[in-house]
Amino acid sequence: MTDVFDKITPDDTTEAPKAPAAQNWRLEENDGTRTLWLDCAGTGTNVISEAVLRELDTLLDEAKQAQPEVLAIRSAKPGGFGAGADIDGFSDLSREDAVAMLRQGHAVLEKLAALPFPTVAVVDGTTLGGAFELTLACDHRIGVEGVKLGFPEIQLGLHPGLGGTFRLTNLIDPVEAMQMMLTGRSAHDSKAKKLGIIDALVPERHVDAAIAAAASGGLDHEGSFRASALRTRAARGLAATRMRSESQKKAPRAHFPAPFALIDLWEDHGGDASEMQKAEIASFATLLDSTTAQNLIRVFFLRQRLKSSGKGEHGIAHVHVIGAGAMGSEIAAWAAMQGKWVTIEDIELAPLGQTIRRAARIYERKHLSGIDTRDALDRLMPDPDRLGRARADLIIEAGPEKIGIKEGIYAELTNEMKPGAILATNTSSLPLASLIDAAPDPAHFAGLHFFNPVSSMPLVEIVSHDLASQETLDRLASFTTEIDRLPARVTDYPGFLVNRVLAPYMMEAMLILDEGHDKVAIDRAALAFGMPIGPVTLADQIGLDICLEVGRSLRQGLDTPVADTPDWLKEKVEKGETGKKARKGLYDYENEDPPKDPADDPDQQVIDRLILPMCNAAVEVLRKGVAPDADTIDAAMIFGTGWAPFRGGPLHYARVRGDAPDALRRLAEKHGTRFDPDPGWDTLG
Amino acid sequence: MSRPVYLVDGARTPFLKARGKPGPFTPVDLAVQAGRPLLMRQPFAATAFDLVILGCVNVIQDEMNPARVAALRLGMGEHQVAFTVQINCGSGMQSIDTAFRYIRDGSHEMILAGGTEALSHAPLVYSRDATEWFGQMARAKGPIDKARALAEFRPDFFSPVIGLERGLTDPITSLNMGQTAEVLAHRFGIDRVTADTYAVESHKRLAAAQSEGRLKGEVLPVFDRDGEAHEHDDGVRPDSSVDKLAKLDPAFEKPYGKVTPGNSSQITDGASWVILASETAVEAHGLEPIAKIVDSQWAALDPGIMGLGPVLAATPLAQRHGLACDDIDLWEINEAFAAQVLACIAAWQDDDFCREVLGYDAAFGRIDRGHLNVDGGAISLGHPVGTSGNRIVLHLANALIHRGAKRGIATECIGGGLGGAMLLEAA
């Protein structure tokens, strides 16, 4: 049967021809409305590049000549107005070049803002960063339902640089504007309307009528009352102080200068748009030069890189998860939220109930609407009768980490799975090699290792083995991308990539503890380095029993020296003090909270002992070919563990630092062979 | 054209007792919970049906035409035609009957027919005066109007009645359903102990069916957002006894009435689906029918004695197919009230009644308790009104298979003075 809705919906947003001599803009003239359609050449997503602005400059001159009743600017791409500025090659600009380029861009937007007739931007879908800034130079913004506007620059260690800082703080309540820029959080349709970013929120079918309304002066922008209240520097000073302390809580100034630069900018110049514009350019250029921004831009590209490693047809519509523990449940809930039909089985009913509860909570945290939550839960079916086994395109086994149990499950699956379906194991501690023999079809078997909690850790390791087919690995990587996670292709190695590199962080912390150091001081030192969580807290969170097991399996599987486990740790586990889940581990969760604030003056020795072994392990996995290249390793550590992103990853950090092998050698002399620099350092560029 | 029609599979949710607040599921939620695993266990795609019919009495505002909402939520495709039927307590059987006739007549091959009801979600109903006052408040413009409207408020506006209570009162006779059972108890001489004894047996049978696995595959667990897994009909009281039931006061006619909460059906939430298919569909998908739907019948009588509906609906089926009482191996008579079921049994045993009302020469016969509601009924597992008719047909089909029996009738009384009945044969 034909899809009627599809049939009556045109394929293209517009049929307007490209503007003369322009690559990225279409031009349409209709009844006094002149429309500039942004349609970046050779890509599915608009980005505001130097060429886009240069062409716009000419088009604005022509528009000024033509004197239309109204000038509308909108996007010809189905996904939204635009993703932001073009940051390809961005980070390589010299400070002078950056300033020159910014000035040119500002001049174009000023020309737009100064046009003598009404200008309207139609914003839809994703409208971020530079694209958002372009629309802020128009008199009106008409939002199409579902629009999402925001400034994610802060995540790149920057702030808006194309007029966003002074235009948004002038347009809406400046405190709200600052919040958006400081957090990088975007405003969705009705929120954007409420804030006053858009003057109308309409479904696509009423856009033309709304443009006509704007042309005849029928669209009013409601000014912000707080804007006038914050016109004095003293009033801004109070607000700025609060913002600084909020920002400091989230990320220290030393590592993340951008929020503080933005707050200074507003506090100093918030009352004077033209001064703020000048200062914005200078501040942006300075930030762009900073190590933090350079590394965060690098992280942005690492993300793109992982994403692009998972593309193409995967044919996975139905996922069946075996085992409704924490991981199985998280995976199932996440996949259902991303549009997959999911069945999940367990030998008990109670954990299946908990899966639904957990899913409902995740959807709440992710701000799903009532209808989206219902639909996701409808797609997520607890399956005590294991009906999904025969129907699924992908079965993810998340059963207990015991070879015997997994073998039993695989034996049953042999007769149940449909032809061509993939069996993936979420094991984190068992070598795939030990499971291949039991797998129904080794060619269609691989590791799909998610990180906990799946809903906030974007990485998934796609673990290969000798008999896995390339097609299976490609399908898994592509599936991972489709459910909005980042695939890292790794080989079968003890701890695979991430856990192998991360393990020394906790194991070394145990030995430092053993020497009598204070656990809080250890954790706070790690936080000061920029780790998202201290090693002692992390060990508790993972579970000390599991840490013991990881240590054991690494010692068994690796041919490099591994830190010993202190005896008291075993005793603790035997006593049942296994960490956060038992409310008692290295911390006593009834009586104390692990620290969240970084040390002001951390012990550099402690930091080196925690961090350098991870760098060393990263070199080892690179040498062993566990990941295809150094960037994948850095990316995996950042997206799988939150490894200090502004430092660019363990290998990048070591490379920049320069003295890592020597520092390791010194640590080895003092503390033992586990610090011996890996032979791979010699060949590391 | 008259083609055979098969019941190939079916499943329902556990029936969940209403516990004084809205339960975790809406009517469509329940239909989706029961429908998902049922569709998943079929060898064909969820989009293979020609039609979805769902019975539902108390449709909630957010789910108009629950059949269509359920079909879409079940992933049955945007092309899935779906409609909702309502004939009060017969709605879940009405859906099967409609499907049966469509397939028999050759216009459809495979239909998903169900019933759903969330009685715990029955709305509060405000009095007409109160509703008018709310409207006046909403229309009031300016402070003076508002003040004037406000002044007319009466405290009793905030005394809504539970809509369910109204729904269970006959609009013609103004008798509550329980009172119609009192009328039958009186006319057929059903005493309190007999009614309570019947009720106790209902609980024991359901408990046995649960523990001996006779509901496996028919009752599928459901899972709510608070993480609770509901596995069984939760109104069952295996430890029920005549002594315990004797302590309950009459529910509808104090102090002398015989109908108590203990010998009446329970107020519950639940959904049930069956899949009906033509021979063509059975062959095309390689299905294994569990029963054949042979015939169906609706009947009507004075609303004040609606409880005799089963007698008036089932008898023509027996007569049309030349079946004597002993030819029917299993009976499912929906247990609205113990007194009402017992009155039906008494009527069929009564020479005068059978001669004058049913056109027999003598009594139809004695339906042995051993052939009647063999795995319990609405007294023990509850009566989600739009669902029960569907459940008794599904369970009859399963019970025929379990017991190796040949033929059975599922029948129900329907508030408003109706009865519905369906004749099944094991496939």
Residue range A614-648, pLDDT digits in tens? 999 999 999 999 999 999 999 999 999 999 999 99
pLDDT at residue B167 in the model? 75
**DSSP summary character for residue A314:** -
Is residue B272 within 8 A of residue B390, CB to CB? The reply is yes
Same domain flag for A462 and A558: no
Same domain flag for A260 and A319: no
Interchain pair B73, A356: CB under 8 A: no
Is residue A76 within 8 A of residue A26, CB to CB? The reply is yes
Burial B259-287 (b: 16+ CB within 10 A, else e): bbbbbbbbbbbbbbbbbbbbeebbeebeb
Distance CA A228, CA B89 (A): 65
Q: How far is A6 from chain B (nearest CA, A)?
A: 12
Same domain flag for A121 and A218: yes
**DSSP sequence for A553-599:** HHHHH-SS--PPPPHHHHHHHHTT--BGGGTBSSSBTTT-----SPP
pLDDT tens-place string over residues A657-679: 999 999 999 999 999 999 999 99
With beta carbons under 8 A apart, name residues in chain B contacting A391. Answer: 40
With beta carbons under 8 A apart, name residues in chain A contacting B73. Answer: 374-375, 378
Residue A408 is part of which domain span?
313-491
Where does a domain end: A450, A471, A491? A491
Interchain pair B229, A350: CB under 8 A: yes
Active site residues per annotation of B: 89, 413
Where does a domain end: A235, A270, A298? A298
With beta carbons under 8 A apart, name residues in chain B contacting A382. Answer: 221, 223, 229
Q: Which residues is B117 bridged to in the sheet? A: B270
Helix B338-349 with B309-320: angle, nearest 10 deg: 40
Q: How far is A350 from chain B (nearest CA, A)?
A: 6
Q: Where are the domains of chain B?
A: 177-215+293-426
Q: Is the residue at A305 inside a domain?
A: no
Q: Is the residue at A13 inside a domain?
A: yes
Q: How big, in percent rounded to 5, are the helix, strand and coil portions of chain A?
A: 55, 15, 35
Q: Over 60: is that where the pLDDT of B138 sits?
A: yes
Same domain flag for A54 and A200: yes
Does A453 sit behind a cis peptide bond, omega within 30 degrees of 0 on the bond before it?
yes
Domain CATH number, residue A71: 3.90.226.10
Interchain pair B226, A357: CB under 8 A: yes
Q: Which residues have CB under 8 Å from B297's CB, separation 6+? A: B313, B314, B316, B317, B320, B420, B421, B422
Interchain pair A360, B225: CB under 8 A: yes
Task: Select from A374, A380, A391, A416 the residue whose CB has the most chain B CBs within 10 Å, as the one to mutate to test that interface.
Answer: A374
Q: Which residue of the set A55, A133, A577, A620 is catalytic?
A: A133
Q: How confident is the model at residue B145 (pLDDT cuts 50, 70, 90)?
A: confident
Burial B312-323 (b: 16+ CB within 10 A, else e): bbbbbbbeeeee
pLDDT at residue B122 in the model? 77
Same domain flag for A166 and A75: yes
Same domain flag for A456 and A518: no
Same domain flag for A565 and A589: yes
Q: Is the residue at A306 inside a domain?
A: no
Interchain pair A378, B79: CB under 8 A: no
Place of tokens 């899972």: B223
pLDDT at residue B135 in the model? 77
Q: Does residue B62 belong to the interface with chain A, where contact is any CB pair within 8 Å?
A: no
Same domain flag for A591 and A480: no
With beta carbons under 8 A apart, name residues in chain A contacting B78. Answer: 3
Domain B177-215+293-426 CATH superfamily: Thiolase/Chalcone synthase (3.40.47.10)
Q: Is the residue at A630 inside a domain?
A: yes
Q: Does residue B223 belong to the interface with chain A, where contact is any CB pair within 8 Å?
A: yes
Q: What is the dihedral of CA A211, A213, A217, A223, to 10 degrees?
A: -80
Place of tokens 């029961």: B34
**Chains A and B: how many Cβ contacts under 8 Å?**
53
Domain CATH number, residue A568: 1.10.1040.50
* Ranges of chain A whose pLDDT falls below 50: none
pLDDT at residue B152 in the model? 79
Where does a domain end: A438, A456, A491? A491
**Nearest residue to B70 (alpha-carbon basis) of B49, B88, B89, B87:** B49
pLDDT at residue A226 in the model? 65
Same domain flag for A521 and A581: yes
Q: Is the residue at A1 inside a domain?
A: no
Q: What is the dihedral of CA A461, A462, A465, A470, to 10 degrees?
A: -160
- Can you say whether the dihedral through the CA atoms of B259, B262, B267, B273 is positive or negative? negative
Q: Does residue B32 belong to the interface with chain A, where contact is any CB pair within 8 Å?
A: yes
pLDDT at residue B175 in the model? 87
SS3 A455: coil
Q: How confident is the model at residue B130 (pLDDT cuts 50, 70, 90)?
A: confident
pLDDT at residue B376 in the model? 97
- The count of structural domains within chain A is 3
Backbone angles phi, psi at A680, to 5 degrees: -65, -15
Q: Which of A223-232, B51-60, B322-331 has the lowest mean pLDDT?
A: A223-232
Same domain flag for A466 and A536: no
Interchain pair B221, A391: CB under 8 A: no
Which residue of chain A has the CA closest to B32?
A378
Same domain flag for A165 and A203: yes
Q: How far is A360 from chain B (nearest CA, A)?
A: 6
Distance CA A569, CA A548 (A): 8
Q: Which residue of the set A50, A62, A96, A153 is catalytic?
A: A153
Q: How far is B118 from chain A (nearest CA, A)?
A: 17
Q: Which amino acid is at B268?
A: T
pLDDT at residue A227 in the model? 64
pLDDT at residue B160 in the model? 66
Which residues in A have their CB inside 8 Å of a CB on B? 1, 3, 341, 343, 349-350, 352-358, 360, 374-375, 377-379, 381-385, 387-388, 391
Q: Is the residue at A2 inside a domain?
A: no
Nearest Cβ partner of A378 from B32, B221, B231? Answer: B32
pLDDT at residue A223 in the model? 60
pLDDT at residue B161 in the model? 66
pLDDT at residue B162 in the model? 66
Element of type H or E holding A528: helix A519-529
Distance CA A674, CA A681 (A): 15
Q: Which amino acid is at B335?
A: E
Place of tokens 């929020």: A259
Q: Does residue B221 belong to the interface with chain A, where contact is any CB pair within 8 Å?
A: yes
Distance CA A87, CA A287 (A): 14
Q: Is the residue at A227 inside a domain?
A: yes
For strand A341-345 and strand A380-382, is the pairing parallel, antiparallel, or unpaired? parallel
Q: How far is A182 from chain B (nearest CA, A)?
A: 35
Interchain pair A391, B40: CB under 8 A: yes
User: Please, what is the average pLDDT of chain B?
Assistant: 94
